[in-house]
A and B are shown apart, each in its own frame.
Chain A
Amino acid sequence: MSAPGQGSDGDEGGVFRRAWAILWKDLLIEGRNKQSFTAMVSFAALVLFLFTFAVGPDPELLGRLAGGLLWVGIVFTGMLSLSRTYQSEEKGGGLEGLKMYPGELRSIYLGKLAANLVLLTLVEALLFPAAAVLFQIDMWPHAPQLAAVAFLGTFGFSVVGTFYAALTVHLRARELMLPLLLFPALVPVLLGAVNATTLTLTGDPMGNFDMWFRLLVAFDVIFFVVCTWIFPILLED
């Protein structure tokens, strides 16, 4: 399995070892200064507050809207994580350095994808309980199902997001271009995650949860394959 544009050493395990190294490096940097994480958690909480101000404090209404509010919050917060993905490499030519290491360029994508996934999952681990308290929803009985939906939604977001972030980082007006490319592409993820979350929280008399769950799985698989396959083309010089 040789990548377009990069001679690989054919070492499949090597891809994951390098991806792991990049993930570890990014998490270590994040763990040392905690800047992005603190900003992301505060921002996510702020989004929940802003939405509550926009729609009013009626608990019944907020309970019905909770799925949508949560996911819009996650998507907005995720943008902070994505723009950090490659910009943090710009100082000192970090990305150039990563590209010069032997082996597949795909390991960069997989490592960055994992870093975004971990960071966003940590934010969600705080955001969901916060929403449960603020919107007065009893989430605890649904925790496993919510965690599965959250993982699939976050994975879909990170797959396309990490991919397009690598494309927009070299563009002028990249802060504008990333959401412009990413948000319309994410419509299926957003619909799937919002509906699956809402059905989990408010009950599912028609048994529609499976449909949305499968949509999320399908989106994740399709775009994981497509993005992993094309990614090396983005990093060519």
Chain B
Amino acid sequence: MERETRDRRHRWLGLAALAAVVVGTVWALFVAPPDAAQGEVQRLMYVHVPTAWIGMLSFFVVFVMSILYLVQRDPRWDMIAHSGVEIGVVFTALTLALGSLWAKPTWGIWWTWDPRLTTTAIMLIIYVGYLAVRGFAQDPEKRARWSAVVGIVAFVDVPIVYLSVTWWRTLHQPPSTARSIAPEMLWPLFLNLAAFTLVYLYLMLRRYRLAEAERQLEEETAIGR
């Protein structure tokens, strides 16, 4: 019963997230002006930036949850961390794919060794490693402990990777400067950021719910054995 009310509440959140994404998409596609230099392709930014943001938010949450788990040893923190990595990996992969789609018509290439691109790709591999650790560990307590350790080391590592890759690249080419964004473009971007954050919350809650069910199943089969 308690579970049903929770499911129902999640559904409302999911509908709100869906509505926000629809409004954000319509705004980004039809209301916002096309970019002066890049034209229509630039509209990918309204999805690309939010997916990148969700990826980073996700991994930050994983870092905090990993520390909490190691301090308190409460399996719930581990389940949130696991959910966070799965969602973060999906959104980071999406960010790279969307960035590639944008790069091809704009720069004429699918990939360049830009610091942010390179770091994002390395970050993706690091967190795929986190999921692999989970896949190859059987005991639930050890799996939680080891993946929490990876979650912490990974988060400490990513900024250093970014720094090193930036230095590596700036020796060859000047860094791309951040351009200021026109307000007509800023508002739909903010809206999409908010919409994607809602989507993230919804996915986290549903993934956590699934993690609970997985844990229950694991415990029951352990007793059955």
Q: Which residues of A contact B (CB under 8 A)?
A: 4, 160, 163, 167-168, 170-174, 177, 180-181, 184-185, 187-188, 191-192, 195, 206, 208, 211-212, 215, 218-219, 222-223, 226-227, 230, 233-234, 236
Which chain B residue has the least Cβ–Cβ distance from A216?
B164
Provide the residues of chain B in CB contact with A234, threshold 8 Å: 145-146, 149
Rounded to whole angstroms, the CA-CA distance of A215 and B160 in the bound complex is 9
Q: Tell me if B210 counts as interface (CB < 8 A to partner A).
A: no
A177 contacts which of B132, B152, B164 (Cβ < 8 Å)? B132
Which of B125, B136, B153 has a CB less than 8 Å from the CB of A173? Answer: B136
- Given contact pairs A230-B152, A233-B149, enumerate 4 new A-B contacts (beta carbons under 8 Å): A172-B138, A188-B160, A188-B164, A236-B145
What does DSSP make chain A's interface, helix, strand, loop or mixed? helix
In B157-180, which residues have CB < 8 Å from any A CB?
157, 160-161, 163-165, 167-168, 171
Instruction: Return B96 CB to nearest CB of chain A, in Å.
Output: 15
Interface residue? B32 (CB, 8 A): no
Question: Is A184's CB under 8 angstroms from B167's CB?
Answer: no
Are A191 and B168 in touch, CB under 8 angstroms? yes
CB-CB contacts of B141-158 with A at 8 A, as 1s and 0s? 010011001101110110
Whether, in the assembled complex, B44 has its beta carbon less than 8 Å from a beta carbon of chain A, the answer is: no
Find the residue from A160, A188, A206, A222 having the highest chain B CB count within 10 A.
A188
Residues of B contacting A226 in the complex (Cβ-Cβ under 8 angstroms): 152-153, 156
List of B residues within 8 angstroms of A173 by Cβ: 136
Min Cβ gap A178→B in Å is 10
Query: Are A171 and B136 within 8 A (Cβ)?
Result: yes
Q: Which residues of A contact B160 (CB under 8 A)?
A: 188, 215, 218-219, 222
User: B133 near A: Cβ within 8 Å?
Assistant: yes
Closest residue of chain B to A191, judged by CB?
A: B164
Name the residue on A nearest B127 (C-beta). A184
Q: Is B137 an interface residue (CB 8 A)?
A: yes
Does A181 lie within 8 Å of B145, measured CB to CB?
Answer: no
Residue B70 interfacial (CB < 8 Å)? yes
Does B126 sit within 8 A of A, measured CB to CB? yes
Give CA–CA (A227, B149) in the complex, Å: 9
Complex-state Cα separation, A71 to B176, whole angstroms: 30
Residue from B125, B133, B138, B167 in contact with A212 in the complex, judged by beta carbons closer than 8 Å: B167
Any chain A CB within 8 A of the CB of B129? yes
Known contacts A171-B136, A172-B136, A233-B145; A211/B167 CB under 8 A: yes
* Contact partners of A163 in chain B: CB under 8 A: 153
Residues of A within 8 A of B133 (CB): 167-168, 171, 177, 181
Given A195-B168, A219-B160, residue A185 in contact with residue B132 (CB < 8 A):
no
Q: How far is the CB of B132 from chain A (nearest CB, A)?
A: 6
- Residues of chain A with a CB closer than 8 A to B167's CB: 191, 211-212, 215
**Assuming the A-B contacts A191-B164, A230-B149, A233-B149, are A184 and B122 also in contact, with contact meaning beta carbons closer than 8 angstroms in the complex?**
yes
Whether the Cβ atoms of A167 and B136 lie closer than 8 Å is no
Contacts of B157 in A (CB 8 A): 184-185, 188
